[in-house]
A and B are shown apart, each in its own frame.
Chain A
Amino acid sequence: MSTTISPKDTIQPVEASAEVKAVHQQMLRRQKLNRAATYGVAILIALWILVPIFLLGSMAFTTPEAVRTYPKGVLPFIPFSFETMNFFLQSEGIIPGLINSIIVAIITLVLSTLIAAPAGYATSRFLFPGRDFFRLSVLAVRAFPIVVLSIPLAVVFINLGMYDSVYSLALMHTALALPTTILVIGSVFASIPYELEEAAQVFGCTPFEAFRQVVLPLVLPGIAAAGVFTFVMSWNEVFAASILTVQNRTLPAQVLAVLGQSSEPYQFAGGFFMMIPALVFIFFIRRYLFNMWGQVSK
């Protein structure tokens, strides 16, 4: 074998042997097959998630008569109508519950972001003694279930005369949301290089200006995503809401309280109504979900 390769050798295409071609063909076929199989699996899983939602949606957007008929049909084979949903929304306690839910979720969102943002900034920008301990404690706190907190807080709120109020429920939801929010905001800040802030300071910004003009616009979408997640969490939370409120129930607490005595149109429309924020908001924050939960396994 010669050690020098003449230009001719490289230019002239070499006919691959039939054997090599066959292997190549086989690999291509296998890759195609794999791809098709992956699509198949992806579509199956998507159906597993979407079909139940569609079934419930069919019940929510039809007439109560169609809900009560057996065997049940699905849209578009049953009449499309807002009657069931209207019936649910006009039931006793639903509109007040909806308002309470939104109030609680918004207070929770604002409060948890205000408290968590500085902590998130501190853990991502400073190396200080106790930082790891702080982050570990936050992680540990997140591991505790809502169930454990609700009972003592209910007793405390009763003693303080703050029981059955949307504000005390929002305080509790903030406590639940805080650990996640701190970690997420921390990871959002960590994704912005400190050099950017430094550069802004070199160009004459004060540290605060550098933060406001350079960092804030970059982290805002991430913080907003964390806020949306907090909103959805508070909107969904049913255990603490049922324990801490009696008259001023939030929407899930109200639905749960009357679940046993309510009709199927009410239950199904209510179930679907509670899903709507998830369907809408998850779409916008799906990219950030990995920021939120990826943090844990880092």
Chain B
Amino acid sequence: MTDERSSPKTKKRKKINWAPYWLILPSLIYLALFFIWPMFRGLGLAVYNDEAALALQSEPSRDAATAGTLPQGTQVEILDQQGNLIPPEEAEQANLITEVWFQISAEDADGNPVEGYVSESRIRVREENEAGIPTAGSVRTRIGAGAGTLTDIYSEANENADVVGQLEARAEVAISGLEILEIWYQIRGEDNGQAVEGWAQSRYIQVFGETETGRIDRGNTGQFTTEYISRMVNDRFFWPATITTFLLMLLIIPVQFVLSIVMALVIQARLKGNSLFLYVFTIPLGISELAVGILWFSIFTQSGFINSFLQTTGLINTPITFLSADTRYWILIAIWLAEVWRATSIVMVIVVSGLQGISDEVLEAAELFGATLWQRVRHVILPMLKPSLQVALILRTILALQVFAVVIALSGGDVVTVLANETFRQYSDFRNANVAAAYAALILVISMFSAVVYLRMIRSQEEMAA
């Protein structure tokens, strides 16, 4: 970037000009929110388990002291249970086991008006308002010996509260409100041979049929873990994916560079119809990866264009199977061709921009002195293009890590796989965001490594330009 154009502003530099900062602020905020933060979150997902352990309370209350922690998955004994009021916004949470209590007013067994709370299980709802909230009902008949026929009414939504009255079976009640209680369990489990006992909310516990045992379904305390990374590394697709990713990079990038330099030289030769050639050469730049995958699938599939051509010209009698598990190398070749076809345009555009920076005089001088095309490329063009080529190289390396839809289109995503595809598979098919994040983190590390080189290169170029 040249500096003279900003001269009028720079002269009065003594006072800080805040205008540019205000102008870049929106993009800074946006990038922080949607780029930098997710990046760290992603790294976190890969190494941190939010639900690794469950902290138990000494009393069935969130404010009570912590009685100890048990890791996720521990088998526990359930000793007792109790309902506790939860705020309505938490009632939507997954895996809650709740009890509903109605606030009612009615006439008690003695005919006196009484107000209080009674469990939902004791009331048959008769009327509801438009919102579906019960407004009136009647007391259910008690079944079973020894229970008595009367239903207790409590002063609070809690069976340990005072009894304020008793209702007869089938007594009419008006329902004025309801309260939702979450069950707390008193559990006992073992962690490293040590027994831990305490209270925990139902949302964390999976209770087995007979309600005397259960297991800790998820914890509420996070812990760093290498579990996801080791699961990634031990996945049977991990090594094939890593090897294929790097193999494809090695195969694609050199060919792309040679081809893109040839294309750029053609464009630079300014032939008649140059604009048309430029258009055609840049078309693949705008084509989606998936479409390119389908395109090359149509060429390589068993009834595809290669077989059709060979068959029509009489070179083969039966179609060759290219894209099968037995012919992995053909799948690799197809992916290689597809990627070279698709992504060479970007490299070409960068190279052409770089070529435009080389003055025509230099090239003409070289030509005048009788340098052959090869000599010009080798000794004039390539050295002067070095900065552009380095940038293109890094950009390509990073883009090569994203090859994804081409692989799915050409191999179904199983036979030949790459890192990006494994990230997708872990997330979409196995519903395992953490292992997917581990894959993403691996790609991030490789990209970051490239980006550091990339940044250093640009800095040194800017120093050179200055």
Contact = CB atoms under 8 A, between A and B. Distances in A.
B415 interface: no
Interface string B395-406: 100110110110
B353 A141 contact: no
Given A45-B266, A70-B319, A155-B41, A52 B286 contact: no
Contacts of A259: 294, 408-409
A267 B269 CA distance: 39
Interface stretch (A9-17, A91-99, A117-125, A218-226): A117-125
B285 A171 contact: no
A126 B388 contact: no
B420 interface: yes
A286 interface: yes
B31 A141 contact: yes
Interface in B396-444: 398-399, 401-402, 404-405, 408-409, 412, 419-420, 423-424, 427-428, 433, 436-437, 439-441, 443-444
Contact of A172 (B34, B259, B308, B392): B34
Contact of B458 (A56, A136, A155, A239): A136
Given A267-B297, A275-B287, A243 B356 contact: no
Given A49-B280, A275-B291, A297 B462 contact: no
A295 B377 CA distance: 23
A140 B455 contact: yes
Interface in A73-99: 73
A196 B148 CA distance: 96
A190 B5 contact: yes
A270 B294 contact: yes
A270 B295 CA distance: 10
Size category, B interface: 35 or more
Interface stretch (B62-70, B73-81, B118-126, B446-454): B446-454
B455 A139 contact: yes
Contacts of A195: 5
A274 B5 contact: no
A143 B286 contact: no
A190 B24 contact: no
Contacts of A45: 259, 262-263, 266, 281
A122 B20 contact: yes
Interface in A252-279: 252, 255-256, 259-260, 264, 267-268, 270-272, 274-275, 277-279
A216 interface: no
A162 to B, nearest CB: 12
A260 B401 CA distance: 23
Interface of A: 34-35, 38-39, 41-42, 45-46, 48-50, 52-53, 55-56, 59, 68, 70-73, 114-116, 118-119, 121-128, 130-132, 134, 136-141, 143-156, 171-172, 174-175, 178-179, 182, 190, 193-195, 198, 229, 232, 235-239, 242-243, 252, 255-256, 259-260, 264, 267-268, 270-272, 274-275, 277-279, 281-283, 286, 289-290, 292-294, 296-298
Interface of B: 1, 3, 5-10, 17, 19-24, 26-28, 30-31, 34-36, 38-39, 41-42, 44-45, 259, 262-263, 265-266, 269, 271, 275, 277-291, 293-299, 301, 303-305, 307-309, 311-312, 319, 341, 346, 349-350, 352-354, 356-357, 373, 387-388, 391-392, 394-395, 398-399, 401-402, 404-405, 408-409, 412, 419-420, 423-424, 427-428, 433, 436-437, 439-441, 443-444, 447-448, 450-451, 454-455, 458-459, 461-462, 465
Q: Which 4 residue pairs across A and B have the least CB separation, nearest first?
A: A294-B353, A271-B294, A278-B286, A236-B288
